[in-house]
Amino acid sequence: MIVGREDGVGDEESRSFMEMVEEVMTMIGVSTASDFFPAVARVVDWGGVRKRMRVVDIKKEEMLQRLINEKRRRRKEKGKTDQKSMLEALLDLQEEEPENYSDQIIKAMIVALFFGGTDTSSVTIEWAMSLLLNHPGVLHKARTEIDSLVGKDHRLIQEQDLPNLPYLQAIINETLRLYPAAPLLAPHRSHEECVVGGSYRVPNGTILLVNAWAIHRDPELWTEPEVFRPERFVEGGEGTVGGGIKMLPFGMGRRRCPGEVMAMRLVGLALGMMIQCFEWERDGEGLIDMEETGGLILHKADPLRVMYRPRQSMVDLLSQIETF
């Protein structure tokens, strides 16, 4: 969607990209001595973090510039197309306003979406599947809803079906409540001194971190906050009524995540297809371990491992799909 590439996940460039994303996420999600002693950090590279970041940054710049050059060359050879990727749309804007859409600006926009949307979407799906496998009744209810809307063997769930699957959306919302992909929202900085909650003075220039994880589990805001209960977000539930903002996995205000709509559709479509097409079982008799690990993104400490097989009613349909 972003650069118009349809390469398989096994090609060398795809692997290099995923390795780059994982390394960057690891480095920016861990505290180092440099965070607490910035003056000394200017001369001492604790843990070699700055050096590693420079190496990754060079790889990132080379990869993105190569994608831009390749797309530019293809446009000259084959002309423009009606169905544009985000990169093609940005190159169109570059031709109209070159001073506002330099290659550097285009690369920065692509990086923001790559790093903001890759890990967060996949980890949300992993948490959702873990919760569903620990709560088979919820999984059965979601599958019944999908089967009732799209049928058991006629077609796959499609994007336009999502607004008509309220329970599936409730599962995603409850997953984001319990396990927000970014438990501490993106850092903000106060522009002027203010008082929060009548008690906390926040000086001008303060770096602010919002603990979405704690807000989502606050017993003053939620009934039995540690319990997985998608019904909270079905019409009339506590997640859909009342004043105030209790759910903010994507932030809020003008700095709210611009990829929220795309992320909800992507997660909804992927999770919906997994529920619709396959039977799922835990890999063992016990419940799936839901322990979290630290970092910028909220990963499972123990990656999800499951047993699955195509649903009998979906075998014929899946056999007609080339990608399967």
Domain boundaries, the chain: 1-101, 121-324
Asked if residue 3 lies in contact with residue 85, where contact means CB atoms within 8 angstroms, the answer is yes
Closest Cα to residue 161, out of 153, 169, 172?
169
pLDDT at 225: 95
Q: Where are the alpha helices (DSSP H) in the chain?
A: 12-28, 33-36, 38-41, 49-78, 86-96, 103-134, 136-150, 166-178, 212-216, 260-277, 315-319
pLDDT of residue 324: 43
Among 191, 187, 160, CA closest to 255: 187
Q: Which residue has the higher pLDDT, 249 or 323?
A: 249
Nearest 5 degrees, angle CA 174-CA 121-CA 258? 90
**Is pLDDT above 70 for 9?**
no
For residue 28, the model assigns a pLDDT of: 67
Fold of 121-324: Cytochrome p450 (1.10.630)
How much is the pLDDT for 245? 73
Report the SS3 class of residue 179. coil
Q: Give the mean pLDDT of the chain.
A: 86
Q: Are 106 and 259 in contact (CB under 8 A)?
A: no
CA distance 43 to 270: 47
- Note the pTM of the prediction, 2 decimals: 0.79
Q: Which pLDDT belongs to residue 10?
A: 53
pLDDT given for residue 249 in this prediction: 92
Region 48-73: what's the mean pLDDT?
86
Provide the pLDDT for residue 322.
57
Q: Is 320 exposed, middle or buried (0-12, 13-18, 19+ CB in 10 A)?
A: exposed
pLDDT digits 0-9 by tens, 156-215: 999 999 999 999 999 999 999 999 998 988 888 889 999 988 999 999 998 888 999 999
- Position 208 scores a pLDDT of 86
Q: Is the pLDDT at 13 greater than 80, yes or no?
A: no
Here the tokens at position 99 are: 């001073």
Token pair for residue 153? 């063997």
Tens of pLDDT, residue by residue over 259-309, are 788 889 999 999 999 999 999 999 888 999 999 987 778 889 999 999 999
Average pLDDT (16-44) is 72
Tell me the three-class secondary structure of 70-139, residue by residue. Answer: HHHHHHHHHCCCCCCCHHHHHHHHHHHCCCCCCHHHHHHHHHHHHHHHHHHHHHHHHHHHHHHHHCHHHH
DSSP 234: S
Check residue 173 and give its pLDDT. 95
Predicted local distance difference test score (pLDDT) of residue 284:
86
pLDDT of 220-248, one tens digit each? 999 999 999 999 999 888 888 765 678 89
pLDDT at 219 > cutoff 90: yes
Half-sphere exposure for 224 (CA within 13 Å, toward CB): 7
Quick count: other Cβ atoms within 10 Å of Cβ 221? 16
More confident of the two residues 310 and 236: 310
* pLDDT score recorded for residue 82: 67
Q: What is the pLDDT of residue 243?
A: 54
Mean pLDDT of the 42-62 span: 81
pLDDT for the residue 196: 87
Considering only residues 98 and 255, tell me which one the structure prediction assigns the higher pLDDT: 98
* 233 or 6: which leads in pLDDT: 233
Confidence bin at 110 (pLDDT 50/70/90): confident
